[in-house]
Chains A and B, each alone.
Chain A
Amino acid sequence: MSRLIGEPLPRVDAPLKVTGRATYAAEHRLPDLAHAVIISAAVGKGRILEIDSRRALGEPGVLAVISHLNTARLPYRPHKGWIDPTVGERLHVLQDDFVRHWGQPVAVVVAETLEQAEHASHLVGIRYEAEAPSFTVPDGESIEPQGGYPANYSRGDADQALATAEHRVDCTYLIPRENHNPIEPHATIAQWDGQRLTVWDKTQFPTNVAEELAAVFGLERANVHLICPFVGGAFGTSLRTWPHTTLAALAARHVGRPVKLVLTRKQMYFGTGYRPETWQRVRLGAHSTGELTALKHEGIAETSRYEHYIEGLLNAPRFMYSCPHVTTSYRLVPQDVHTPTYMRAPGAASGMFALECAMDELAHELRIDPVELRLRNEPKIDESRNVPFSSRSLVQCLRTGAERIRWHRRRAEPGALREGHWLVGLGVASATYHTLRNTASARVRLRPDGTAVIETAAADMGPGTYTSLTQIACDELGLPPEKVQVVIGDSNLPRVPPHGGSQTLSSVGSAVLAACLAARSARQERAHSGAIAGSEIVATETSQPGDATKRYSMHAFGAVFAEVMVDVDLGIVRLAHMVGVYAAGRIVNPRLAHSQAIGGMVGGVGMALLEETHIDRRDGRITNANLAEYLVPTNADIPVFDAVFLDEHDPHVNPLGVKGIGELSYVGVAAAIANAVFNATGKRIRDLPITLEKLL
């Protein structure tokens, strides 16, 4: 049997997706389904004074208008899932008359049909006592984040080293809030059967939905079942269980029928989390020859008043380059907003933008080629922890990428390359993302008919979990793909970490590997012992990381090169080409890995040039809560990108030797583009997105 790991097996769920037979959350059919629509607060802060639902209730088909006035107090038992903020308490929806953020759910209308529910939602009269919400990033009262990533880090004396450095740069970078905007809106279908609750939801973390709902409603965990076989894109917005899921279950209980609740596109902007706005200041000190002597990186991010959202904003600066004196400090500014959440490469996308732009500014200051500057600062170990990297191929990524984009064409002097009315520029940035692995379990059933079923509570939002787990199982069990079925997206299946943080293959893959091995052993034992064949062999294994993370620093690295064209008069920025070279350990499926890579690169184009959530600070309203004005890249914006994976063997990260790649490919893209824009125009744009008015 030939090995499938390492082969570009076509996506096993592709036939379902291209025929429209993949079933997403809102598409499960239940008899007697009613429809719910959330009414969102029209003020940014304050109290609800009155809810008048008489007109709405008088409309045909309307079953209920649910609000804090007529819904039971929910137990809301304490529950912090893996991905919930450590400090603070989640929103208790419809439990009081406070409005904490613009768009907060304040009522739910339930009706026989979607049209009836939507119409009735316009008829509910709500009066508020409104206050002006406050938005004060970065100068507002800030707090030190606790739990999770450290707020402060220091080695050496960065202030002193900066003061005495031969050369210095001091740059401040602003990244606005961004929204995930997967094409599938969040949706939940909830059905009660006594004290048993079944939900079809859109989630990256199936077991967490069941746990959260059990906690909210005071149910036995075993009585909550979540089903989610397909996720229409998520990028982090489906890691947590959001209020609408609770509201669907609440509505279903209230009307005694299964209820479907789908967020409108507008509600996606405030019904789930987002990448927080950040302010960052980077100061670098270096010798004339380019060696860094000092690195001081400060970051301030927004959070809500009811939860402290923390991400790894300033992890990379501590280990990315060799530098004896490093200080990072990270603070949060609570505002009258809803809580941010992880968005593709959380922390790293924002922090590396600042670091990689600052490195480019330093390179320019020193008159050293930006690729060369990074090569000169390649560390031998992780200097923040004094442990070696489990593997690190940044140097090869930089060199390979430079060759592929023909970096030699780049002129050191900005504005030197021009084609007609287009200024041409080349830029580079390093990329890194941590390699996570956590405890995961999987079950393998070897059926008497010669097929195998792999069961695990993982999810697949597009990276190809179904396919890569199939490949692992095929190789271990010696079966062809047609004989292996992977079942995921079910909270009753063996537990795994969330499908996020690029840890699914490392964690779940390792568990599937272990379970397959166990199943094979069990089969061999049965054969030897002469036991009766004909019944199913079942093996469940839990795979845990060892202590390798204590002895090694584990990250994937890459290098992104961008070639941009900037209209000399109109300021329009267009991508001519982009090259991403990544070293992410073993590549289980080059076809899927390539898709992940180009996908991350496209996301980075959005971050660099287009994306910004517009907030009217008078009342906190998001004015571009739609896909016509919150701009994501279109097909016409994206030429053919070149994404390459270098061979990298890492025996420490996990038994498969894989590192996550879904987020690595998003990191550094915005910086590479910003650096290319500088090379093209001589204009350094430090606040995203790089829109044309900043270049006029």
Chain B
Amino acid sequence: MDSATTSQVQLTVNGKPVTLELDTRTSLLDMLREHLGLTGTKKGCNQGACGACTVLVNNRSVNACLTLAAMCQGASVTTIEGISENGRLHPLQEAFIRHDAMQCGYCTPGQIMSGIACIQAGETYSAHAVREFMSGNLCRCGAYQNIVAAVLEVAEQAGGRR
């Protein structure tokens, strides 16, 4: 491989330091899925039109498909694999189970990452606000109203603590 078209990337993924020598064309999404075996983040369209690849980079929700891994030098990336602690599910993961906020499950990791961002951003003062914030995550199975219910429930529980 032409060395001019690879770069070394050092970043943190789910709290762990990672150093990789990668083809510069490698997206953050493909870095996670193909190089780190973290297949929880999904590829749906590879064009930023579905949100299945949503992860947190420096605590902000982004589409990993339109981010080059190289652009994440020094960044802290959180994926679906990184939000439970010591085997305990994140409250939003538990709420998703309770509300059956999924069917096929493929958009689910992206929905949860966006849901976490939604709660962090305080965009949970109404169902309407949640729906609008979460509209960057398509669900073809149509689980939307259950997704919204799960996010609202966790937001309410978290209210006052953040």
**A113: CB under 8 A from chain B?**
yes
List, in ascending order, chain B residues with CB within 8 A of A464's CB.
103
- Closest-by-CB residue of B relative to A116 is B23
Once the chains bind, are A627 and B44 in contact (CB under 8 Å)? yes
Interface of A is mostly: loop
List, in ascending order, chain B residues with CB within 8 A of A640's CB.
127, 145, 148
CB of A282, distance to nearest CB on chain B (Å): 28
**Measured CA separation A13–B134 after assembly (Å):** 24
Known A-B contacts A19-B89, A184-B104; A627 and B47 likewise in contact (beta carbons under 8 Å) = yes
CB of A123, distance to nearest CB on chain B (Å): 14
Once the chains bind, are A638 and B145 in contact (CB under 8 Å)? yes
A-B contact count (CB 8 A): 186
Once the chains bind, are B102 and A11 in contact (CB under 8 Å)? yes
CB of A4, distance to nearest CB on chain B (Å): 16
Once the chains bind, are A18 and B45 in contact (CB under 8 Å)? no
In the complex, which residues 88-135 of chain B have their Cβ closer than 8 Å to any Cβ of chain A?
89, 93, 96-98, 100, 102-109, 112, 127-128, 130-132, 134-135
**A379: CB under 8 A from chain B?**
no
Once the chains bind, are B25 and A592 in contact (CB under 8 Å)? no
Once the chains bind, are B42 and A18 in contact (CB under 8 Å)? no
List, in ascending order, chain B residues with CB within 8 A of A638's CB.
131, 142, 144-145
Cross-chain contact of B50 among A15, A113, A600, A627 (Cβ < 8 A): A627
In the complex, which residues 38-72 of chain A have their Cβ closer than 8 Å to any Cβ of chain B?
60-61
In the complex, which residues 39-57 of chain B have their Cβ closer than 8 Å to any Cβ of chain A?
39-47, 49-50, 52
Once the chains bind, are A14 and B96 in contact (CB under 8 Å)? yes
Once the chains bind, are A627 and B112 in contact (CB under 8 Å)? no
**A160: CB under 8 A from chain B?**
no
Once the chains bind, are B47 and A18 in contact (CB under 8 Å)? no
Once the chains bind, are A635 and B102 in contact (CB under 8 Å)? no
**Measured CA separation A228–B80 after assembly (Å):** 22
**Measured CA separation A11–B146 after assembly (Å):** 14
List, in ascending order, chain A residues with CB within 8 A of B42's CB.
24, 183-184, 232
Once the chains bind, are A233 and B49 in contact (CB under 8 Å)? no
In the complex, which residues 139-162 of chain B have their Cβ closer than 8 Å to any Cβ of chain A?
139-148
Interface of B is mostly: loop
- Closest-by-CB residue of A relative to B79 is A20
**B2: CB under 8 A from chain A?**
yes
CB of A591, distance to nearest CB on chain B (Å): 5
Known A-B contacts A185-B44, A262-B43; A230 and B105 likewise in contact (beta carbons under 8 Å) = yes
**Measured CA separation A182–B138 after assembly (Å):** 10
List, in ascending order, chain B residues with CB within 8 A of A26's CB.
33, 39, 43
- Closest-by-CB residue of B relative to A600 is B142
List, in ascending order, chain B residues with CB within 8 A of A116's CB.
23
Once the chains bind, are B103 and A183 in contact (CB under 8 Å)? no
**Measured CA separation A264–B104 after assembly (Å):** 19
- Closest-by-CB residue of B relative to A112 is B1
List, in ascending order, chain A residues with CB within 8 A of B26's CB.
115
**Measured CA separation A580–B141 after assembly (Å):** 16
CB of B111, distance to nearest CB on chain A (Å): 9
Cross-chain contact of A19 among B40, B44, B100, B143 (Cβ < 8 A): B40
List, in ascending order, chain B residues with CB within 8 A of A602's CB.
139, 142, 144
CB of B84, distance to nearest CB on chain A (Å): 6
Residue-wise, chain B 49-79 has the 8 Å CB interface mask toward A (1 for contact) of 1101000000000000000000000000001
**Which range holds the interface residue count of chain A?**
35 or more
**A626: CB under 8 A from chain B?**
yes
CB of A417, distance to nearest CB on chain B (Å): 22
Once the chains bind, are A183 and B106 in contact (CB under 8 Å)? yes
**Measured CA separation A61–B103 after assembly (Å):** 38
Cross-chain contact of A20 among B2, B109, B130, B143 (Cβ < 8 A): B109
**Measured CA separation A15–B143 after assembly (Å):** 16
In the complex, which residues 634-674 of chain A have their Cβ closer than 8 Å to any Cβ of chain B?
634-636, 638-641
**Measured CA separation A634–B104 after assembly (Å):** 17
List, in ascending order, chain B residues with CB within 8 A of A10's CB.
97-98, 100
Cross-chain contact of A599 among B105, B112, B132, B141 (Cβ < 8 A): B141
Known A-B contacts A26-B43, A632-B138, A641-B145; A15 and B25 likewise in contact (beta carbons under 8 Å) = no
**Measured CA separation A633–B147 after assembly (Å):** 14
- Closest-by-CB residue of A relative to B96 is A18
- Closest-by-CB residue of B relative to A182 is B140
Once the chains bind, are B81 and A20 in contact (CB under 8 Å)? yes
- Closest-by-CB residue of B relative to A264 is B46
Once the chains bind, are B100 and A633 in contact (CB under 8 Å)? no
Known A-B contacts A113-B23, A627-B138; A182 and B104 likewise in contact (beta carbons under 8 Å) = yes
Cross-chain contact of B52 among A119, A183, A594 (Cβ < 8 A): A183
**A337: CB under 8 A from chain B?**
no
Once the chains bind, are B100 and A635 in contact (CB under 8 Å)? no
Known A-B contacts A60-B2, A114-B30, A632-B140; A462 and B41 likewise in contact (beta carbons under 8 Å) = no
Centre residue among B23, B45, B98, B106 by max chain A CB count within 10 A: B106
**Measured CA separation A266–B40 after assembly (Å):** 23
**Measured CA separation A109–B84 after assembly (Å):** 39
**Measured CA separation A61–B139 after assembly (Å):** 36
Known A-B contacts A14-B97, A627-B50; A636 and B135 likewise in contact (beta carbons under 8 Å) = yes
Residue-wise, chain A 66-95 has the 8 Å CB interface mask toward B (1 for contact) of 000000000000000000000000000000
Known A-B contacts A11-B97, A599-B141, A628-B49; A635 and B105 likewise in contact (beta carbons under 8 Å) = no
Known A-B contacts A20-B40, A265-B47, A628-B47; A591 and B100 likewise in contact (beta carbons under 8 Å) = yes
List, in ascending order, chain A residues with CB within 8 A of B143's CB.
595, 598-599
Once the chains bind, are A627 and B148 in contact (CB under 8 Å)? no
List, in ascending order, chain A residues with CB within 8 A of B15's CB.
none
Once the chains bind, are B108 and A115 in contact (CB under 8 Å)? no
CB of B114, distance to nearest CB on chain A (Å): 10
**A235: CB under 8 A from chain B?**
yes
Once the chains bind, are B140 and A18 in contact (CB under 8 Å)? no
- Closest-by-CB residue of B relative to A20 is B40
Once the chains bind, are A115 and B25 in contact (CB under 8 Å)? yes
Once the chains bind, are A461 and B147 in contact (CB under 8 Å)? no
**Measured CA separation A651–B60 after assembly (Å):** 54
Centre residue among B25, B127, B141, B145 by max chain A CB count within 10 A: B141
**Measured CA separation A61–B37 after assembly (Å):** 21
Once the chains bind, are A19 and B103 in contact (CB under 8 Å)? no
List, in ascending order, chain A residues with CB within 8 A of B103's CB.
233, 462-464, 595-596, 599
**Measured CA separation A30–B23 after assembly (Å):** 20
Once the chains bind, are B106 and A182 in contact (CB under 8 Å)? yes
**Measured CA separation A231–B104 after assembly (Å):** 6
List, in ascending order, chain B residues with CB within 8 A of A626's CB.
45, 47, 49
**A181: CB under 8 A from chain B?**
yes
In the complex, which residues 595-610 of chain A have their Cβ closer than 8 Å to any Cβ of chain B?
595-596, 598-603
**Measured CA separation A24–B105 after assembly (Å):** 10
**Measured CA separation A113–B137 after assembly (Å):** 28
List, in ascending order, chain B residues with CB within 8 A of A198's CB.
none
List, in ascending order, chain B residues with CB within 8 A of A639's CB.
145
- Closest-by-CB residue of A relative to B104 is A462
The contact sample of 29 A-B pairs, CB cut-off 8 A, is A11-B97, A11-B100, A11-B102, A13-B105, A18-B93, A18-B97, A18-B109, A19-B40, A26-B43, A115-B26, A183-B50, A183-B104, A183-B138, A184-B104, A230-B105, A232-B104, A232-B106, A264-B46, A265-B45, A265-B49, A462-B102, A463-B103, A594-B100, A595-B146, A598-B143, A599-B142, A602-B139, A602-B144, A627-B44
Extra 4 A-B pairs, beta carbons < 8 Å, given A595-B103, A627-B138: A21-B40, A598-B146, A638-B142, A641-B145
* B interface residues with partner A (beta carbon < 8 Å): 1-2, 23, 25-26, 30, 33-34, 37-47, 49-50, 52, 79-81, 84, 89, 93, 96-98, 100, 102-109, 112, 127-128, 130-132, 134-135, 137-148
Ranked 5 nearest A-B pairs via Cβ: A20-B40, A602-B142, A232-B106, A17-B105, A462-B103
